[in-house]
Amino acid sequence: MVRDDYEVVIGLEVHCELSTKTKIFCSCSTEFGGEPNTHCCPICMAMPGTLPVLNEKVVEYAVKAGLATNCSIEKNSKNDRKNYFYPDSPKAYQISQFDKPLCYDGYVTIQTDEGEKQIRIERIHIEEDAGKLNHDEYGRGTFVDLNRAGVPLIEVVSKPDMRSSAEVEAYMRKLKSIFEYIEISDCKMEQGSLRADVNVSVRKKGAKEFGTRTEMKNMNSFRNIVRAIDYEAERQIEELEKGNKILQESLRWDEISGRTFSMRDKEDAQDYRYFPEPDLVAIKLSDEYIENIRKSLPELPESRKKRYIEDYELTEKAANFVVASKYYSNLFEEATKICNNPKTVGNMIMSDIARILNEREEEPDALKFTGKELGELVSLIDKGTISSAIAKKVLEELFNEVKMPSKIIEEKGWVQISDESAIKEVVMKILENNQQSVADYKAGKDKALGFLVGQAMKETKGKANPQLLNKLFLEELKK
Ligand code: ADP
Ligand code: MG
Ligand code: ZN
């Protein structure tokens, strides 16, 4: 996409809302939505005289995130006050972390066209989310909803290690997948639980220094992140080619016009005057505490991948695909336990299940059926009860209503026809009606057999046993 003589450089600040039951400094609910200003109390509304108390779960979740992304954990951490005024933040400051983030110096591994690549993580710190401003459509003004104020966040700051929008997408997907595995967030991007500030610069290939970056804030869809980076890189290259300078500024991505616009606020000109938060005590963590969290981590994608290749003989491609989502991976393991056919289960996830999700514009977390249903489905194919063509139809049904596949095929009358005389009848009929194909086959065109089998499948609505069908056709054609 980007011109050959330029290189794009991207670094991400990813915000992830933690799925603790209560907010970071009070006991209000973190639940998404709700009537405006109903998940609030004097603490998260910043009434004078109130004091915050740090929710221990927030520290635990952040340490989990750090350990799962190969970070070192800071045993002497603290909170800091970041001063800025914006009407969605009633305190006029945000409690965050400045010089002692909980986690630092980590990395995650992504797959690129050139193989694996490590994206370094500079730091992960904890902070509180702000409320939300709702601009009234009738022009009566702007209303503030503080339900989100005080919802715990981690911010994951990457090094500027990414070199294309594809790498950024892979990195974001990897973080999302890890956070789903360790169950620290629902990672619902459409609800803003996972969102990224995207920093983009360009430089001539081979240049030593980075170019000046611009930043697009609060991006919450993969599609828009990719489009915005590609657009912004092109724009910067054009400016440089015209002899202009890039201004370090925050930009707004407009998905309708597919362009970025200046927000006219120079992020770097801001002075947050950070100082240690006086209302909170330091966060001191023992080795034992950290080790206990490490032990509690579930098996992560890298290790699952290795195991799927070694123990289940999945291809690298299938293994990568399955472990990319906790929902796929758990489905895979549960189904395989039942049918003992990892290869078919893996293929079904990679082809049919992924395709149907894609058609429905859903992510794997939307899957309603479990390994119980998928495992039985694969067993039914293996036993010859249904063909793989019917299995695809059963899968479609499973997306509409979760039922045991044996029940679905019974209700729909989809049991495979393996009765030789019944199939023979169909074969004779198809041969009779397709004399040209018969002649073609006899003249050496092997492809004609495929056509005849296809016709027979159509006739039986996919229910004929394919091996038997092939065998009977061949017998007749050789006569
Ligand atoms: P700030 O906190 O002011 O936004 P940082 O220096 O902490 O600035 O960087 C924020 C993000 O910007 C990091 O993810 C970093 O990787 C990225 N970044 C820094 N310099 C560049 C650059 N020249 N091009 C692209 N990304 C950059
Ligand atoms: Mg920034
Ligand atoms: Zn509260």
Q: Based on DSSP, count helices (H) and strands (E) in the chain, helices before strands.
A: 16, 16
Delimit the domains of the chain by residue range.
6-289, 299-412, 420-477
pLDDT above 70: percentage of residues in the chain: 98
pLDDT given at position 389: 86
79 lines ligand 1 (CB under 6 A): no
CATH of 420-477, picked from 1.20.1250.20, 1.10.3720.10, 3.40.50.460, 1.10.10.410, is: 1.10.10.410
Is the pLDDT at 99 greater than 80? The verdict is yes
207 lines ligand 1 (CB under 6 A): no
pLDDT band at 464 (very low <50, low <70, confident <90, very high): confident
* Alpha carbons 234 and 252: distance in angstroms, whole number: 16
Q: For the residues of 445-463, what is the DSSP string, one character each? A: -THHHHHHHHHHHHHTTT-
Is the pLDDT at 267 greater than 60? The verdict is no
- Residue 247 contacts residue 212 (beta carbons within 8 Å): yes
57-65: average pLDDT: 98
Averaged confidence pLDDT in the chain: 94
Q: Considering only CA atoms, which residue is closest to atom 13 of ligand 1?
A: 11
236 lines ligand 1 (CB under 6 A): no
Q: How far is the CA of 151 from the centre of ligand 3 (A)?
A: 9
Q: How far is the CA of 157 from the centre of ligand 2 (A)?
A: 9
Closest ligand relative to 157 C-alpha = 1
Kindly report, residue by residue over 410-436, the tens digit of the pLDDT: 999 888 888 888 899 999 999 999 999
- Residue 352 contacts residue 374 (beta carbons within 8 Å): no
**Which protein residues have a CB closer than 5 Å to ligand 3 (ion)?**
26, 28, 41, 43-44
Q: For the residues of 263-279, what is the DSSP string, one character each? A: -S--GGG-----EE-TT
* Token pair for 245: 């300078």
Q: Considering only CA atoms, which residue is closest to atom 8 of ligand 1?
A: 268
Helix, strand, or coil (residue 193): coil
* Token pair for 478: 């050789």
Helix, strand, or coil (residue 46): coil
Residue 27: other Cβ atoms inside 10 A: 12
246-263: average pLDDT: 91
pLDDT band at 86 (very low <50, low <70, confident <90, very high): confident
pLDDT given at position 388: 87
* Alpha carbons 144 and 87: distance in angstroms, whole number: 8
Is the pLDDT at 441 greater than 90? The verdict is yes
Residue 254: strand pairing partners: 259
pLDDT given at position 349: 97
Q: How far is the CA of 215 from the centre of ligand 2 (A)?
A: 7
Closest ligand relative to 128 C-alpha = 3
355-375: average pLDDT: 95
User: Could you tell me which residues come within 8 angstroms of residue 192 by beta carbon, excluding any fewer than 6 positions away?
Assistant: 17, 218, 220
Residue type, 182: I
Q: What is the pTM of this model?
A: 0.86
What is residue 155's DSSP assignment?
E
41-59: average pLDDT: 96
38-48: average pLDDT: 95
30 lines ligand 1 (CB under 6 A): no
